[in-house]
Structure 1
Amino acid sequence: MAHRFKVREIAQQSGLSEATVDRVLNDRPGVRAATRAEVLHAIEDLDKQRSQLRLNGRRFLLDVVMQTPRRFSDAFRAAVEAELPAFAPAMLRARFHLWESGSTDQMADTLARIKGSHGIVLKAQDEPEVAEAVDRLVAAGVPVVTYTTDIPASARCAYVGIDNHGAGTTAAYLMDQWLGDTPADVLITLSRTVFRGEAEREVGFRTALRRSGRGIVEVGDSDGIDATIERLVIDALERNPDVAAVYSVGGGNTATVAAFDQLGRACRVFIAHDLDADNRRLLREGRISAVLHNDLRADARLAMRLILQQHRALPTEPARPVPIQVITPYNLPA
């Protein structure tokens, strides 16, 4: 049994004799299951206590860098700020670098200007310039965790977020089930295909929906900004009279709903991502059918934990995929 403590420490923690602990650790016969469980529990407690000692009095400054619509960055910022106190007795502070629309060069320049950081949570374009900026940070001892959209060719230490291809497949399954025999084409709205996560969602959706024979119309390069989305969706609807459903990959859903209303068109099924304030309202009003969501506070906690692991302030644990939640008006969390 792998462990990092002396037999005497485990015995003291568990209240068992050193001989009994030794038998458990070496998997010798004649040990009751309950006794084995006590030893395992003692080792877990010692691990937690060691982590607390490593964290005690330490200060970490984290940076959150995101190009994303404000409705999402506001929600994630609130999640990060809510989770910072959970890492006591360490003191964590966060700086936020957030903008809605910009170039790859702007992202690379922002990363290059960051100084004094202990780690970065990053939502950025999957482009060579950004990957190189990430590599320089990591080489300088600053771990980077990508969030919601990955940059796999970079030296980032981990990706936090849902399986984007799986999310697209899930959206296609729901879309086809709910449309049934209705002969409707589907509109996909994206912010930017340079975000790998959006591209993976789109590929998953198209692949899974292909067998249905439905037409798919794409609207992209909107940055998820409402004014741009509304104009692009109106144009797409006017050119494609059979569109009667939406898979929103990149946001701007209030504007998409407004575009359907302006043309007097019905949207039979509308599937979106992320439970931000706009989507909550649209769900309650019955304007969208479902939101594919993940817990932003759990995401923030995991991202920060992975950064602290890189500094050996916490024990190493594997990053597990974030589960997708299908939220409807009837299971909308408080």
Structure 2
Amino acid sequence: MAHRFLIKEIALQAGLGVATVDRVLNGRAHVREGTRRRVEQAIRELEKQETQLATTGRKLVIDVVAEAPSRFSTEIQEALEAELPGFHPAVLRPRFLMRETMTTAEVVETLRSIAQRGSHGVLLKARDVSEISAAIGELKAKGIPVVTTFSDIPLSARIAYAGLDNRVAGATAAYLIGQWLRGAGGTVLITMSDEGFRGEEEREASFRRALRVKHSNLSLLDASGGHGLNLQTEERMRKVVTKSSRIAAVYSMGGGNAAVLKVLEAAKQDPICFIGHDLDRDNVGLLLRGKVQAILHHELRQDMRSACQHIMHFHRLIPASAIAPSSSVVVVTPENIPEHIASRFR
């Protein structure tokens, strides 16, 4: 396996022992395929961090653990890597473990493995459940700070949350739909990826509250549970959407929007407006084709900057006053897609 890094550097990046990495690099027997893939991933990460590795300063190894569709986890990784050069006097070396779906047990096992091998901090996107909260407490006991990102676990021992204000997002979606419908009645289709993610749960609760107070003539049809993945979302949609549904608007909190639109079209449903979240490749394309009317966007680079600065503050490298705030809700239409995002998808 070609590489130009010291074995100890690869081992640190992979979170494995030096002897294990040596066996992988030399093609020896009795190595699990998952271990081999982890070493390959570590080398790719080191190649991306090569400029950082040559920089002097306090080196912090941080673990990024996220359950998210690949389109969003890719955005997370690219946003963090873009911010790495700006963290002087620290040199941050991220290790990524991101999967489209993870059981609670898998998340807990991952966090306990991090606690065992050591880390300077963890950026975590996971469900708000007691087992994961307990694992965060175990990390704290080991002196490893956790920052929850994009979906909070507020009653845990995490040191901070970095990400969108999801209550504001839900209320904003309700306002936009109210403006588009102009008093007309009908059904609003809502979709969450998974009720266990507090961020989406907060969006949904705020959205429901705003509709109940200001738009009581609108009813809700819930097609949640597709994990933000197209196949699962399509399956869930087909169970609840029919040709008699009278869907006037859609608020998609968890993604899988191509699948949502596919089922709506098959059911002869033509909503007046469709509000989604996140400017990933899929949603930018849907915006430009007029399939989605607005996306609620938050600047991932700012959220990653804030999350890492919380860890730097924990290690007394910067004062609290230097920590950037989390990003605000931005309503994006086809007319105001940020240039730095649009240019990536041309």
- TM-score of the aligned structures, taking structure 2 as reference length: 0.78
Q: For 2:332, give the aligned amino acid.
A: I
* Structure with max Cα Rg: 1
Alignment of 1:258-297 (within 5 A): 258-297=262-301
Whole-angstrom CA distance in 1 between matches of 2:317 and 2:130 = 31
Q: Which moved more, 1:125-134 or 1:232-241?
A: 232-241
Mapping of residues 1-334 of structure 1, within 5 Å: 57-114=57-114, 115-211=117-213, 212=215, 213-238=217-242, 241-317=245-321, 320-334=325-339
TM superposition shift of 1:321: 4.5
Q: Shift of the alpha carbon at 1:244?
A: 2.7
Task: Give the percent of matched residue pairs that are identical in Structure 1 and Structure 2.
Answer: 44
The one-character-per-residue Cα deviations of 1:300-324 (angstroms, maximum 9, x if unpaired) are: 1111111011000111226635311
The CA distance in 1 between the partners of 2:93 and 2:119, in whole Å, is 10
Distance 1:136 1:279, change over 3 A: same
- The whole-number CA distance in structure 2 between the counterparts of 1:216 and 1:321 is 30
Q: SS of the residue aligned with 1:309? A: helix
Structure 1 outlier segments of 4+, above 4 Å: none
* 1:88-135 CA distance string (max 9 Å, x none): 353211111111112211111111111221001100110010000001
Deviation at 1:235, TM superposition (A): 2.5
What is the rounded CA distance, in whole Å, between the counterparts of 1:89 and 1:127 in structure 2? 35
Q: CA shift at 1:87, angstroms?
A: 1.6
Secondary structure of the residue that 1:155 maps to in structure 2? Answer: coil
1:60 is aligned with what amino acid?
L
Which amino acid letter does the alignment assign opposite residue 252 of structure 2? S
Cα shift readout 1:120-167 (whole Å, capped 9, x = no counterpart): 110011001000000110111111100111111111000011211111
Cα distance in 1 for partners of 2:94, 2:189 equals: 38
Stretch of structure 1 that moved more, 232-241 or 286-295: 232-241
- May I ask how many residue pairs the two structures share in their alignment? 280
C-alpha displacement at 1:240, in angstroms? 5.3
Moved more, 236-245 or 304-313: 236-245
Question: C-alpha separation between the residues in 1 aligned to 2:306 and 2:324?
Answer: 8
Q: Distance in 2 between matches of 1:271 and 1:98?
A: 26
Supply the distance in 1 between the matched residues of 2:244 and 2:148 (Cα, whole angstroms): 36
Structure 2 CA distance for aligned equivalents of residues 180 and 231 of structure 1: 32
The answer as to whether partners of 1:158 and 1:319 remain within 8 angstroms in 2 is no
Displacement of 1:170 in angstroms is 0.8
TM-score using structure 1 length: 0.81
Task: Provide closer, same or farther for how the CA distance between residues 81 and 320 of structure 1 changes in structure 2, counting only shifts above 3 A.
Answer: closer
Cα drift, residue 238 of structure 1:
1.1
Q: 1:158 is matched by which residue type in structure 2?
A: A
Q: Distance in 2 between matches of 1:223 and 1:73?
A: 13
Give, as a single letter, the amino acid of the residue that structure 2 aligns with 1:324.
V
**Structure 1 pair 250–158 and aligned structure 2 pair: CA distance change class (3 A):** same
Instruction: Give distance in 1, aligned partners of 2:169 and 2:89.
Output: 37
Deviation at 1:239, TM superposition (A): 7.2
Note if contact 1:149-1:196 (Cα within 8 Å) is conserved in structure 2.
yes
Give the 3-state SS of the residue equivalent to 2:241 in structure 1: helix
For the residue of structure 1 that corresponds to 2:57, the secondary structure is coil
Any idea what the Cα deviations from partners look like across 1:209-241, whole Å, max 9, x if unmatched?
114221101112211110111122233211752
Give 1:207 deviation, angstroms: 0.5
Post-superposition shift, 1:184? 2.2
Shift of 1:65: 0.5
How far apart are residue 250 of structure 1 and its match?
Answer: 0.7
Q: Which amino acid aligns with 1:128?
A: S
CA distance in 1 between partners of 2:324 and 2:300 (Å): 15
Segments of structure 1 that go 5 or more residues without pairing to the other structure are 1-54
How far did residue 329 of structure 1 move?
0.7
- Give, in whole Å, the separation in 1 of the partners of 2:106 and 2:64: 15
